[in-house]
């Protein structure tokens, strides 16, 4: 019996080892391996070049802050491994030059199902991800004061967690609000940004007004006009839970970026017997959590059974 148990134990270890060898992320050992992984996500990423943060030489004001801050935070490597989504599989964070400074995270969902997530989605030259316990990320970045102010840039930090299928600000003190109505509007930009307006009532009744450039990514056809739908329970619960997780009443009323010709998002939430919270976000980049909200509504245009 003892020999049989030892055999089973050895076979189990061999199986686990074989499983790990089959993982692309577990097998990554060098910078070239990590670079090849990002490039494997398609033609669009063929020019990605892995690079340490300290190797970026862009200036901010009168000094090069990329190397100084990276060194102060002990960010010496170009890639880091962790289990960001807590599914027991190894994920990887990769830093490099993809037409500019960028940070990508590849998540492993098993069965060779890898998902590429772009952590950097703004116009900052360098940002600084420090992986903490429980695979939280202390995400440091320099503030970008509006051009007409005399405010000096500051080093800021947000703590990020992988939740609701994306990286958003971590919230350890959850609150629950009685959300009665959600209104979301996205405006056009100097280009082909989709312009649309969506409302969701507490009975899941939804309306969509598609104004321009609302092109279905699957059919490549544009929708235009006014539509109605009963929002399915899965997506309805997702947006309610996401907004509560973000503690939306305590977000800022206005966000803005220091560049021109970008779209604006308007989010208005009616809750707790008629209270309202309105958020205007020029550039659609206010917080990581809000960007997840905007993505939710962008997807909602094409994942519901809308009827004219």
Q: What are the chain's domains?
A: 27-169 (no CATH), 179-303 (3.30.1560.10)
Question: If you average pLDDT over every residue of the chain, what do you get?
Answer: 90
Between CA 219 and CA 23 the distance in angstroms is 34
In this predicted structure, which of 28-32, 46-50, 62-66, 290-294 has the lowest mean pLDDT? 62-66
Work out whether the CA dihedral 13, 16, 22, 26 comes out positive or negative. Answer: negative
Whose tokens are 């056809």? That residue is: 221
> Do the beta carbons of residue 229 and residue 199 sit within 8 Å?
no
User: What pLDDT shows up at residue 24?
Assistant: 84
Which tokens in the block code for residue 201?
Answer: 């009532």
Q: For residue 15, what are the CA distances in angstroms to 19, 103, 113, 117, 153?
A: 6, 33, 20, 30, 52
173, two tokens: 């003190």
Q: Residue 240: its pLDDT value, please? A: 98
Q: Is the pLDDT score of 16 beyond 70?
A: no
Digit-coded pLDDT (tens) for 78-120: 999 999 999 999 999 999 999 999 999 999 999 989 999 999 9
Where helices occur in the chain by DSSP H, the ranges are 2-21, 31-39, 65-72, 233-245, 288-303
57, burial (CB in 10 Å: exposed 0-12, middle 13-18, buried 19+):
exposed
Average pLDDT rounded to a whole number, residues 156-178 = 97
Distance CA 265, CA 283 (A): 8
- 7 versus 202: which is more confidently predicted? 202
pLDDT per residue as tens digits for the range 267-278 = 999 999 999 999
What pLDDT score was predicted for residue 294?
Answer: 98
* Length of the chain counted residue by residue: 308
Residue 43: pLDDT band by 50, 70, 90 thresholds? very high
Token digits of residue 282: 């020029």
Residue 261 and residue 190 in contact, taking contact as beta carbons nearer than 8 Å: yes
pLDDT grade for 19, boundaries at 50, 70 and 90: very low
pLDDT, one tens digit per residue, over 173-213 is: 999 999 999 999 999 998 899 999 999 999 999 999 999 99
Using alpha carbons only, what angle is made at residue 67 by residues 64 and 70, rounded to the nearest 5 degrees? 130
What's the predicted TM-score (pTM) here? 0.88
Task: List, for residues 228-273, the tens digit of each pLDDT value.
Answer: 999 999 999 999 999 999 999 999 999 998 788 899 999 999 999 9
The predicted structure's pLDDT at residue 14: 41
Mean pLDDT is highest, among 7-11, 147-151, 174-178, for 174-178
Cα 104 from Cα 82, distance rounded (Å): 13
Sheet with strand 264-271: strands edge to edge? 225-230, 205-212, 195-201, 179-186, 264-271, 275-282, 254-256
Q: Would you say residue 64 has pLDDT above 80?
A: no
Query: How crowded is residue 96: how many other Cβ atoms within 10 Å of its Cβ?
Result: 22
103 in Cβ contact with 140 (< 8 Å): no
pLDDT at 139: 97
Residue 39 to residues 55, 110, 111, Cα–Cα distance (Å):
20, 20, 20
**HSE value, Cβ hemisphere, 13 Å, CA-based, for 126:** 22
pLDDT exceeds cutoff 50 at 170: yes
* DSSP character at residue 307: B
C-beta separation of 285 from 202 below 8 A: no
């Amino acid at each position: 019996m003892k020999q049989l148990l030892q055999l089973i134990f050895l076979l189990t270890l061999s199986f686990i080892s074989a499983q790990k060898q089959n993982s692309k992320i577990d097998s990554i050992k060098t910078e070239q391996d990590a670079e090849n992984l990002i490039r494997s996500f398609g033609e669009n990423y063929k020019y990605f070049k892995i690079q340490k943060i300290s190797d970026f030489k862009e200036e901010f004001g009168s000094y090069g802050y990329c190397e100084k801050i990276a060194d102060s935070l002990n960010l010496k490597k170009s890639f880091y491994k962790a289990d960001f989504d807590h599914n027991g599989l190894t994920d990887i964070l990769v830093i490099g030059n993809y037409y500019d400074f960028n940070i990508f995270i590849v998540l492993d969902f098993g069965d060779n199902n890898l998902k590429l997530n772009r952590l950097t989605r703004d116009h900052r030259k360098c940002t600084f991800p420090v992986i903490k316990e429980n695979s939280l990320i202390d995400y440091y970045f320099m503030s970008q004061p509006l051009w007409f102010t005399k405010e000096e840039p500051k080093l800021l930090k947000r703590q990020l967690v992988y939740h609701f299928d994306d990286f958003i600000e971590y919230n350890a003190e959850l609150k629950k609000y009685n959300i009665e109505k959600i209104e979301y509007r996205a405006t056009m930009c100097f280009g082909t940004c989709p312009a649309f307006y969506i409302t969701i009532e507490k009975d899941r009744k939804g309306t969509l007004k598609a104004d321009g450039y609302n092109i279905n990514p699957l059919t490549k056809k544009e929708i235009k006009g006014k539509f109605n739908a009963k929002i399915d329970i899965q997506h309805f619960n997702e947006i309610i839970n996401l907004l509560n997780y973000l503690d939306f009443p305590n977000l800022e009323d206005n966000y803005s970026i220091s560049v021109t010709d970008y779209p604006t998002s308007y989010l208005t939430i009616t809750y707790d017997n008629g209270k309202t919270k309105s958020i205007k976000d020029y550039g659609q980049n206010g917080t990581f959590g809000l960007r997840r909200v905007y993505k939710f509504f962008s997807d909602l245009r094409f994942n519901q059974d809308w009827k004219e």
